[in-house]
Amino acid sequence: MQESPITAAPPASLDGSAALAQALASRICHDLVSPVGAITNGVDLVQELGSAGAEEIAMIGQSAARAATMLAFHRLAFGAAGADAPPMARPALAALLSDMLAGSRVRVDLDGAGGPALPRPAARAVALATLCARGLLGMQGRLMLTIPAGGAWPARIAAEGAAPAHRAARLALLARAAAAAPGEDTGAGTGADKGADKAAATGENPGENPGAEPGRIDPRLIEFHLLGPAVAAAGAALALETAADGAALCLRAA
């Protein structure tokens, strides 16, 4: 796997963006509606039956645990992560990422779970990068997260698996994230990536929502828009690697 020479479009400023706030609210509601709805259905069923059996209790408990995982992950990835926030233990981060992807056919492997706790900005950047790497895969695949034992950087999140049709557009969004964070320019890209880069610059996402109005932030892609500022806030730089069977996001000391 070699570092990809993707030309990054100038990153759009998201500070104070109403579009960002709307997309973030939509994404959180979308992710929580399923487990919360399952809890409601479970309670309705118990009320209907007049008592709660083991099966109903288990269903409600699983849905509540899923909702709690989503809230914890969203708080880390989408919430504030100042330098004064408490650090996050690596086993806790690994467990949260695994729980977040539980139920999917994507496996998460963490190399470096035994090191010191990560500063919260670094943990947030890793969480967002992992979510972006997941977005480069189809229905199944493997995510390999490597964090050095002595510190947060360099961290590497590799995604291995078949590339979905929207991969080029999402790589273009990652190129914008790389441009938003300090570090090296990633150069000039392949034809497919260049074609998608223009769409990313205008906010359009071919193959995801063809009818989307230019400039609109797709809630399903909110992590791609937040990654660059998060990496910069963590004092890191973002580089991309691409190959026929996957891609990798590399977070390095700026």
Nearest in space to 254 (alpha carbons), one of 240, 241, 227, 235 = 235
Q: Is 143:164 a contact under the CB 8 Å cutoff?
A: no
pLDDT (0 to 100) of residue 109:
80
Among the listed ranges 63-67, 96-100, 244-248, which one has the minimum average pLDDT value? 244-248
**Could you tell me the pLDDT band of residue 173, with boundaries at 50, 70 and 90?**
confident
- pLDDT tens digits for 23-36? 889 999 999 999 99
pLDDT at 210 over 80: no
Q: Is 1:248 a contact under the CB 8 Å cutoff?
A: yes
Q: How far apart are CA 122 and CA 114, in angstroms?
A: 16
DSSP for 30-60, please give it: HHHHHHHHHHHHHHHHHHHHTS--HHHHHHH
Nearest in space to 232 (alpha carbons), one of 118, 128, 130 = 128
- Cβ within 8 Å of residue 55, ≥6 positions away: none
- pLDDT tens digits for 72-86? 999 999 988 766 788
Across the range 98-116, mean pLDDT stands at 79
Q: Which residue's entry shows tokens 């260049």? A: 194
Cα distances from 178 to residues 10, 32, 133, 159, in angstroms, run: 10, 29, 14, 17
CA 220 to chain centre: 10
Total length of the chain: 254
Quote the percentage of the chain above a pLDDT of 70.
78
pLDDT (0 to 100) of residue 185:
41
pLDDT at 203 over 50: no
Q: How far apart are CA 18 and CA 197, in angstroms?
A: 23
CATH class of 2-12+87-253: alpha beta
pLDDT (0 to 100) of residue 121:
93
Across the range 165-170, mean pLDDT stands at 86
Going from N- to C-terminal start, the domains of the chain cover 2-12+87-253
Across the range 173-189, mean pLDDT stands at 63
Which tokens belong to 72? 């914890």
pLDDT at 213 over 60: no
- Which of the pair, 183 or 196, is modelled with greater confidence? 183
Quote the percentage of the chain above a pLDDT of 90.
25
- Which of the pair, 104 or 158, is modelled with greater confidence? 158
Preceding omega of 121 cis (within 30 degrees of 0): no
Q: How far apart are CA 205 and CA 4, in angstroms?
A: 20
Neighbours of 128 (CB within 10 A): 28
Which tokens belong to 150? 């002595």
pLDDT (0 to 100) of residue 157:
92
pLDDT (0 to 100) of residue 113:
67
pLDDT (0 to 100) of residue 196:
39
Which tokens belong to 235? 């004092």
Nearest in space to 219 (alpha carbons), one of 64, 52, 78 = 78
Which tokens belong to 198? 């223009």
